[in-house]
Amino acid sequence: MTYTEAAAVGVAGALLLDLFLLGTRLVTSRTFWLTYPIVLAGQLIANGVLTGRRIVRYNPHAIIGWRLAYAPVEDLAFGFALVLSTLSLWAWLGRRGGAGAAPPGP
Amino acid sequence: MGVPPPVDRLAMRHLTYLAVLAGCLAGALWLEPVLRVRVLRQWRRLLLTVVPIVLIFGGWDVAAIAAHHWSYDPAQITGVRLPGRLPLEELLFFVVVPVCSVLGYEAVRLTRGRRRDDPGRGRWRDDAGRRRSDVTR
């Protein structure tokens, strides 16, 4: 499996988690789509440094070769899967009646 | 002393990736005290979110390293390797990015005042009431 294929599987898995497994349906909410561009901006900067400075190096045979701010486009998919699964889990845990929710603070 | 000897500069270079992670945190952590998003306060919920993410994406990372999808410049990481040759920085990446994302998400939720299309509407009511009272608007 190439990184391109793995990234596609990652996005599909995150969508599955959000829409069906946890049922948080964040991708249908405006809040998520207002949050994602902000996180994406941060990702492009951090990822741009990581790849531009060649801290992380990619095997040219594992990627399709399109790049955005130095980073392979696959990283965008990886980041999307990471952010969506994180927020889906977070939202799900919150809905379950405050697992670990903050007590009324001082 | 003057110019630092090259060995020091090399030592600093090993911190490059860690510096990127610190930059990410600096860009988001201020939301906790300034907007009072109450993310770090809910540390158990945050922990329950981050642990599965670290395991899943850390596993992906280990597999990708083994499959030679990517590699790391040994000069720009600390060199601490976890099982599966996973650099310590990558593990931290899967902690830092989720924490920053949740902080951003909660900041957006808070500033939007939880409108109708929010999937969490209703069941978040306890939190919402408390948080809304924090915001003067």
Cα(A32)–Cα(B130) distance, rounded to whole angstroms? 22
pLDDT at position A26 is: 98
- Interior CA angle at B102 toward B52 and A41, to 5°? 110
The Cβ of residue A98 has, within 10 Å, a number of other Cβ atoms equal to: 17
Using the predicted structure, report yes or no on whether residue A83 has a pLDDT greater than 80.
Answer: yes
Q: How far is A46 from chain B (nearest CA, A)?
A: 6
What percent of chain A stands above pLDDT 70?
Answer: 91
Which residue has tokens 């969506």?
Answer: A84
pLDDT at position B113 is: 80
CB contact under 8 A, B56 and A93: no
pLDDT at position B128 is: 41
Weakly modelled stretches of chain B, pLDDT under 50: 116-117, 121-137
pTM here? 0.84
* B87 neighbors B17 (Cβ within 8 angstroms): yes
Instruction: Encode pLDDT of B114-134 as tens digits.
Output: 554 455 544 444 344 444 444
Residues 38-97 of A with CB under 8 A from B: 38-39, 42-43, 45-46, 49-50, 53-59, 62-63, 79, 82-83, 85-87, 89-91, 93-95, 97
* A77-91: average pLDDT: 97
pLDDT at position B137 is: 36
pLDDT at position B84 is: 95
Using the predicted structure, report yes or no on whether residue A72 has a pLDDT greater than 90.
Answer: yes
Cα(B50)–Cα(B39) distance, rounded to whole angstroms? 12
Using the predicted structure, report yes or no on whether residue A99 has a pLDDT greater than 60.
Answer: no
pLDDT at position B10 is: 72
pLDDT at position B12 is: 87
**Chain B CB within 8 Å of residue A37 CB:** no
pLDDT at position B78 is: 94
* Structural Rg of chain B based on CA atoms: 19
Instruction: Encode pLDDT of A53-66 as tens digits.
Output: 999 999 999 999 89
Instruction: Encode pLDDT of B53-67 as tens digits.
Output: 999 999 999 999 999
Name the nearest CA neighbour of B97 among A93, A9, A42.
A42
pLDDT at position B11 is: 78
pLDDT at position B127 is: 42
**Chain A CB within 8 Å of residue B49 CB:** yes
- Interior CA angle at B30 toward B108 and B112, to 5°? 15
